[in-house]
């Protein structure tokens, strides 16, 4: 039977893969917007953060859950199929919905790093858990600025 830590890590790794898909899609879809460069930077950082999580899992001998990861990624893709009246092009609220989804994913990522730090999980990788918590907080702060701009553009 897997340990609670193994389950936690697998769940977070699967969610991180789905979150990476979301931020990549948003970065592609919004690249021409004034905030497109920030979303592209967040996508690159999400790749690095996923690599950090996988590195930690490797050091703890925890393998990703391929089935759960596939299910969450499929769910992220299914979420794109919404009745918004725009089958061929992006709906006017797509930018805002994507940014809010990323904001939720970043908040959960930070909470995951905090939980691992609170549990005193072995932290001998680079970057350490404290740095990953700080990075997640900085990512949320940066995305809140983007969110404000996207909301003004989408709803204004």
Domains of the chain, earliest start first:
4-155 (1.20.1260)
Q: Calculate the CA 106 to chain-centre distance.
A: 5
Q: Do residues 30 and 22 lie in contact, with contact meaning Cβ atoms separated by under 8 Å?
A: no
Looking at residue 111, its pLDDT comes to 97
CA distance 57 to 7: 11
Looking at residue 102, its pLDDT comes to 97
**Contacts (Cβ under 8 Å, ≥6 apart) of 51:** none
Looking at residue 80, its pLDDT comes to 52
Name the pTM for this structure.
0.85
Looking at residue 71, its pLDDT comes to 57
Looking at residue 131, its pLDDT comes to 93
Ranges of residues in the chain with a pLDDT under 70 are 1, 67-89, 125
Looking at residue 21, its pLDDT comes to 92
Looking at residue 91, its pLDDT comes to 78
Looking at residue 65, its pLDDT comes to 86
Looking at residue 126, its pLDDT comes to 73
Helices (H) and strands (E) in the chain, counts: 5, 0
């Amino acid at each position: 039977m897997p340990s609670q830590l193994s389950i936690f890590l697998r769940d977070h790794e699967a969610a991180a893969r789905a979150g990476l898909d979301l931020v990549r899609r948003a970065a592609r879809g919004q690249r021409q917007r004034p905030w497109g460069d920030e979303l592209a930077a967040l996508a690159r950082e999400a790749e690095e953060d996923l690599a950090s999580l996988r590195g930690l899992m490797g050091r703890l001998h925890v393998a990703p859950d391929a089935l759960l990861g596939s299910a969450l990624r499929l769910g992220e893709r299914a979420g794109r199929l919404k009745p918004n009246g725009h089958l061929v092009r992006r709906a006017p609220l797509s930018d805002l919905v994507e940014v809010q989804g990323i904001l939720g994913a970043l908040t959960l990522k930070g909470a995951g790093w905090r939980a691992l730090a609170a549990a005193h999980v072995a932290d001998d990788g680079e970057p350490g858990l404290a740095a990953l918590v700080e990075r997640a907080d900085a990512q949320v702060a940066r995305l809140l600025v983007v969110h404000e701009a996207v909301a003004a553009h989408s709803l204004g």
